[in-house]
Every structure is written in C-alpha cells, then in structure tokens.
Structure 1
Amino acid sequence: MPLLDRNGTKIDAWTRSEGSGVDNLSQALVPWEALTEALQQKTRDQRIGVVIPNNIRIAELKLVLRQLSLIAVSFPAYSDGRGFSLAKLIRNHGFTGTLRASGPLIADQFAYALACGFDEIELPEASAARQPVEQWLKAAGQISHGYQRGYGDSHNILDQRRTARAAGRLAAS
C-alpha cells in the first residue's frame, strides 16, 4: 500500500506482524489485539507500532501511548470520519510518535488529516490509482486556515477576525 506524507510518497520502514511475534523486527507494526503480548516481547532497541480501529476508546489507548512509536488509525471508508476525531484525541493526550491514517481516504481529506495530527497516510492501491500523489499534495495546500481552534497552526479564521476587530477598536480610541 502506498504511503505518503506532506512531502509526497515515502518508503514504509515498518514491518507488519499479523500476530504478536516481533522477534528480529526493529520496527514492528502489530494489530491492537496483539499489542499487549508484543510489548511484553519487545527488546530495548525495538520500536513497536499498533494498528487500531477508529472506534477504540481513548481511555484504553492512553495506557500504552508512551510505549508506542507509531499508531495507525484504520479508516474503513472515506466517509467514516471517526479517525479524525481519534487522531486529535491521541495528540491531545501527548502522543508524539508517528500518527498514520490507514484506509481509503480521498485527496480532499489530506489537509484536514494533517491538521488533526496525522503525519502520513497509507492508501489502498485502488485509492492511490484514482488520485495521483500530485493531486494529494495540491489538496494539502488548498486550505491555509481553518475555523476550528487547535488544528494545525494557531491562525484560525475566527481568532484572526477577533484580533482584527480588537486592533480596530484600539486604533479608533
């Protein structure tokens, strides 16, 4: 599956393990169900990542956040936006590792995914074939500011308007 970030395509350095077996893997990506056992087997130099469903409760996940280097949030469909909310919660709970969206997203969602805290997107082959990398990169640059606070940069439109009004009142007085 193709992997891309804000700079374009990239090589996936992580090895997927279908179970909890992480022997001889420097960077192992395991399913949520196998995470506990994989963390018990982990050696000091190993990095562990986990693939999670987009409906997992943050209370369950936050217990292991500090032990993870990568979290891949599964998107079953591009129309299922729960992964965006989950990404924001994961970042708000202090996760500083790599956050990956995994599933059939569309290029129009790229800027929002980055703003929610995702570092990269892993696409199914069919999705990547429909929308080339250039389309994703163009879409990422289409939105420079959002209305919500706390996404991406702190220059949301509402705060900019509030600052401009305050500056206008100060200049008038």
Structure 2
Amino acid sequence: MSKTPKIWNETGFVSDDPWVIETEETRAGTNERSLLPLAAFLEKAKAGESELGVLIAPADDVSELQPFLDRIALVALSFPAFNDGRGFSHASLLRSRLGYSGELRAVGDVLIDQIPLMLRCGITSVAVTNATAIRRLEENCLPGIAHHYQPTAKPAARSGGYSWRRVS
C-alpha cells in the first residue's frame, strides 16, 4: 500500500490537490489546506470562517453541518475499513436530505470495487492508497454494475421495460 494518497475523480488523477488531513506527524504547509475533524470545523465555522474542509468520521452526525453547508469547500468522508459502510450513508444524507452540492471525497481504506458505488452515492473524488486500485484507475478500468434497482444521488437513466430498473 502506498502511504501518500492519490486523488482521483471521474476526469482522472488530480496533481495539485491542496487538502491535507492533519495529524501529529503531518501539518498543512503554506500552499495547503487543512481538513478539520468535525468538532474543530464547527468551532471555526461558528466563528464565521468560510471555505473550510471537514473530515467526517463514521460515528459523526452529518446533520450538524447543515447550518454551515455554504461555507464548506470539501467534505471528506472517512472509510477506516473496507467493511465500514457508514461513509456511504453520510454521502447519501449530505446529497439527498441536506442538499450539499460541493465536493465529497472518500478517504481511508478505499478499494477499486467500492468506487462505482461511491460515485452513485454522490462522492465526487477519492483519496486512493491501495496499489491495485491506483493501477486499475490508471488503466481506466473501473468496475461496475450495469443495472440498478434503486435511485441514488447520481441520476441514472431508466433502462426501459421495467419501471424500477436503471442503467449506469
């Protein structure tokens, strides 16, 4: 696994992404921007700061972001393990119920098989560290499922024939 994530969106890899998840070892530099944990974000947002980035942990309540959605430049959704799907729910809630239209990024343990589902939930970019996922994305080999039965944040065309079937 690569230690430094590569940022990918539907147009390809991004080379000049300024966002940094700050830790004890990592701090944002002069041309970088910090992704703040929810509590730190709320503190700064209540003080009137804007164009902030927020890192949402799986146990966080995304509804707390509602009064500040117009001040958020990026919402990063943490996927700490491949089997923790709460980030999918957070993305869906942000898009469909809260009406957030900005960038949603998946960070953490992101696997290639999850990316099409993340895109359908409204996630717009992915911080990828998994070597296999990086290689497959570089090869433009994104897996997917052609037909879906449920609508999502990303609109899909109806396939015809069955009212519930949709095409990616």
TM-score (normalised: structure 1): 0.74
Q: SS of the residue aligned with 1:134?
A: helix
CA contact (8 A) 2:149 2:164 kept: no
Match of 1:170 in 2: none
Q: Per-residue CA shift, 1:13-56, capped at 9, x if unaligned?
A: 2244459x99x7674321212113333263xxx62110011222
**Structure 1: unaligned runs, 5 residues or longer:** 165-173
Question: In the alignment, which of 124, 132, 153 is matched to residue 130 of structure 1?
Answer: 132
In the alignment, structure 1 residue 102 sits paired with structure 2 residue 110: no
Pairs within 5 Å for 1:14-163: 14-17=19-22, 27-39=33-45, 40=47, 42=49, 47-92=51-96, 93-124=98-129, 127=130, 129-135=131-137, 137-140=140-143, 142-156=144-158, 160-162=161-163
Match of 1:10 in 2: 14
CA contact (8 A) 1:149 1:156 kept: no
CA contact (8 A) 1:30 1:50 kept: yes
CA contact (8 A) 2:7 2:127 kept: yes
**Structure 2: unaligned runs, 5 residues or longer:** none
Identify if the C-alpha distance between structure 1 residues 104 and 26 changes in structure 2 by more than 3 Å, giving closer, same or farther: closer
CA contact (8 A) 1:70 1:97 kept: yes
Counterparts of 1:109 and 1:16, CA distance in 2: 21
Count residues in correspondence.
155
Counterparts of 1:98 and 1:77, CA distance in 2: 22
1:130: how far off? 3.0
**Structure whose alpha-carbon radius of gyration is higher:** 1
CA contact (8 A) 1:146 1:156 kept: no
TM-score (normalised: structure 2): 0.76
Identify if the C-alpha distance between structure 1 residues 116 and 134 changes in structure 2 by more than 3 Å, giving closer, same or farther: same
Root-mean-square deviation (CA, aligned residues, Å) is 3.1
1:77: how far off? 0.5
CA contact (8 A) 2:56 2:62 kept: no
Identical aligned pairs, as a percentage?
A: 29
Counterparts of 2:110 and 2:150, CA distance in 1: 21
Would you tell me which structure has more strand in proportion to its own residues?
Answer: 2
1:66: how far off? 2.2
